[in-house]
Amino acid sequence: MAIALPTRASARRTFSVDLSVPVLAGLAALLCVLVALPVSWLVYYSLTAAPAPGAARSFTLAHFQALLTDPDFLDPLLTTVILAVSSAAACCAIAAPMAWLVARTDLPLSNAIRALVTASFVTPPFLGAVAWEILAAPNSGLLNQLYRFMTGAPQDEYLLNIYTLPGLIFVISCYTFPYVFVLIANALDRIPADLEDASAMLGAGTWTTARRVTIPLAVPALLAGVLVAFLQAMILFGSPAILALPAGFHTMTTKIWSLFQYPPKPELAAAAALPLLVLTVLLLRGQQAILGRRGYSVVGGKSAAPRQVRLGWTVWPTMAFVLLVLSLPVFLPYFALFNAAFSPIATTLVTPANATLHNVYFTFFELSSTQLALKNTFILGLAAASAGTVLALAIGYLTSRRAIPGHRLLAFLATAPIAIPGIVLGVGLFLSYTRPPLVLYGTLWVLLIAYVTIELPAAYQQLQSAFRAVNPELEEASRILGATRLQALRHVTAPLLRTNVLATWCFIFVSTIRELSAAIMLFTSETKVVSVLIFDLKESGDLGAISVLGLSMLLLTFAVVIGINRLPGFGGTRLRNT
């Protein structure tokens, strides 16, 4: 690619003052505010109390004492631990063998299976919970109706009840196992074939090699997957709110949300959010420590592709197992949503005779909140994607090029929000922006701050990796010719990173559309977004409108993902290994 380097004369004509330092320093200060401000208010509110409204706040540990002694808080804490441990175990029990089958055997359609796992990955968990409500509600669920039809069981008998703790564990596991699958599959893809070949040359059989070589090398990824699954189950809000609250029990995330219902108790919410934040940090540190260890190193040239294990006659039962697993997060839920969108009653099987477009018409033309929610979601998606990409690009440049003092602190702050669960960030932002000097609550600005903060770590990591692949000598040549840092970034580096920048933009846009945990804490009637509208419609029981909105969200998400995959430089391998 030909890069036009600005000459010394053109640089002088363009800029009389070098604005690089103040602009980049301003973006660094913005990053500090985004991360440090909500966490600071969380700590402050959790450790202080006011004897009366408007009175001075004083130090206290009463909020934490209430958390440790009140059954209203202890029960959700215990439920959350059981939920997280059980989901992590279930995810690893399913994802580990599936990843091995896809990465190391001659299983047919392995690329299609990876794509379907991606489909379950991009499905919002709260939408999956709604779909499983349609399928497995005890009285009206489609699967329970099928069970009664086939067995002749009475109307009050059912096979499945999704409104239970095991039902919640099942649904969360369905939409968490892709994280574990990707970690283990990528680890298996990277294991050098030379190690397995050496084992075979020493006389070990296929299964002995797998047991003594392949599996031990994949154990760090498996342990990291356990932590990721535990973390995801612990911080989710949407699925527990949809399934646990009707069943009469809370998790920590739903309990934090309930503390903001009337009358609000922000101090208790802050105290309940802080341990969740600390535990998240510890889990992420544990994951980094596990993945940071290296159990092998290869000295020499490029390793050969791993030899695949032949399944032989077991290929058909294996394919049946894989399709059964994929039906739980993909086939059955998507069928349920499609059925509810075009059926007069969500739990009635749609046929050509009773198919209707009433739900579509009602959702987009009669439901007053839809137009506003779509407008807000689209505006926030564009704004968050653009602002988040620019901020991640600037911070990635500063840290990869070590352009200013304190670049390591910037790198830490850029990745720190990954340790802040959405519901916790929502509490922190509520406490930060409901008082002078900057009152943003009730506006789209506070939601924009939340979305940018949540998505910043992933965007930063993508762009920093891209910066490391670009030789800084090109920028140095531009600087020698008189360009400022901003000019070099604009004219030299940015064109080389345009594919990565566009992919990051699309990633943030898609993630913003499906975000619920922070939005549920920060929305008002004028700032409602589609994810919150779906949650509100769930409380009113309008499953047809929910399904229409959910399918629209999925179509948009898949369109963006397919668009990313068709970008120059992208493809099956690259997308698969992200």
Kindly provide the b/e burial profile for residues 267-306, where b requires at least 16 CB atoms within 10 angstroms of the residue's own CB: bbbbbbbbbbbebbeebbebbeebeeeeeeeeeeeeeeeb
What separation in angstroms does the CA of 114 have from each of 127, 359, 573? 21, 33, 11
Q: Which CATH class is domain 73-294+312-343+351-355?
A: mainly alpha
Q: Which two tokens stand for residue 205?
A: 């059989």
- Gyration radius from the chain CA atoms: 26
Residue 341's pLDDT is what? 93
| Helix (H) / strand (E) containing 551 | helix 543-565
Residue 9's pLDDT is what? 45
How do the pLDDT tens digits run along the chain, 578 residues long? 454 544 544 444 444 455 556 766 777 777 778 888 888 888 888 888 887 776 778 888 888 888 888 888 889 989 999 999 999 999 888 988 888 888 878 888 888 888 888 777 788 899 999 999 999 999 888 999 999 988 888 888 888 899 999 999 999 999 888 888 888 888 777 766 666 666 666 666 666 666 666 667 777 777 878 888 888 888 889 999 999 999 899 999 999 998 888 788 888 888 888 888 888 877 777 766 765 554 444 444 455 566 677 878 888 989 999 999 999 998 999 999 999 999 998 888 888 888 899 999 999 988 888 999 999 999 999 999 999 988 888 888 777 777 666 667 777 777 778 778 888 888 889 888 888 778 888 899 999 999 999 888 888 887 877 777 776 766 677 777 776 766 777 677 777 777 778 888 888 888 888 889 889 989 988 999 999 999 999 888 889 999 999 999 888 888 877 776 676 655 443 333 33
Helices 530-540, 543-565: inter-axial angle, 10-degree rounding: 150
**DSSP at 469:** T
**DSSP at 578:** -
Sign of CA dihedral 190, 417, 552, 378: negative
This prediction's pTM: 0.84
List the one residue out of 30, 26, 48 whose CA is nearest residue 431: 48
For residue 59, the cross-strand partners are 48
Averaged confidence pLDDT in the chain: 81
Give DSSP secondary structure letters for 97-144. Answer: HHHHHHHHB--TTHHHHHHHHHHHHHS-HHHHHHHHHHHH-TTT-HHH
Q: What's the CATH fold of domain 16-50+357-578?
A: MetI-like fold (1.10.3720)
- Mapped onto helix, strand or coil, the DSSP state of residue 75 is helix
Rounded to whole angstroms, how far apart are CA atoms 369 and 199? Answer: 63
Instruction: Judge whether 187 and 306 are in contact, CB under 8 Å.
Output: no
List the one residue out of 254, 103, 134 whose CA is nearest residue 544: 134
Q: What is the pLDDT of residues 336-383, one digit of tens each?
A: 999 999 999 888 888 888 889 999 999 998 888 899 999 999 999 999
Q: What is the pLDDT of residues 532-547, one digit of tens each?
A: 999 999 888 889 999 9
- Mapped onto helix, strand or coil, the DSSP state of residue 380 is helix
Residue 314's pLDDT is what? 84
Rounded to whole angstroms, how far apart are CA atoms 125 and 345? Answer: 23
Residue 19's pLDDT is what? 56
**DSSP at 310:** P
Residues 6 or more apart in contact with residue 263 via CB below 8 angstroms: none
Sign of CA dihedral 572, 573, 577, 578: negative
Instruction: Judge whether 469 and 398 are in contact, CB under 8 Å.
Output: no
Query: Most distant CA pair in the chain: distance in Å?
Result: 87
Region(s) of the chain under CATH 1.10.3720.10 = 16-50+357-578, 73-294+312-343+351-355
Residue 296's pLDDT is what? 45
Rounded to whole angstroms, how far apart are CA atoms 23 and 474? Answer: 22
**The tokens 């990843």 sit on which residue?**
99
Q: Which two tokens stand for residue 140?
A: 């009206």
Give DSSP secondary structure letters for 491-519. Answer: IIIHHHTHHHHHHHHHHHHHHHHH--TTH
Rounded to whole angstroms, how far apart are CA atoms 498 and 509? Answer: 16
| Helix (H) / strand (E) containing 58 | strand 58-59
Residue 80's pLDDT is what? 92
Q: Cis before residue 38, ω within 30 degrees of 0?
A: no
The torsion angles phi and psi of 264, rounded to 5 degrees, stand at -70, 145
Q: Which long-range contacts (CB under 8 A, 24 or more apart) does 196-199 make?
A: 196/306, 196/307, 197/304, 197/307
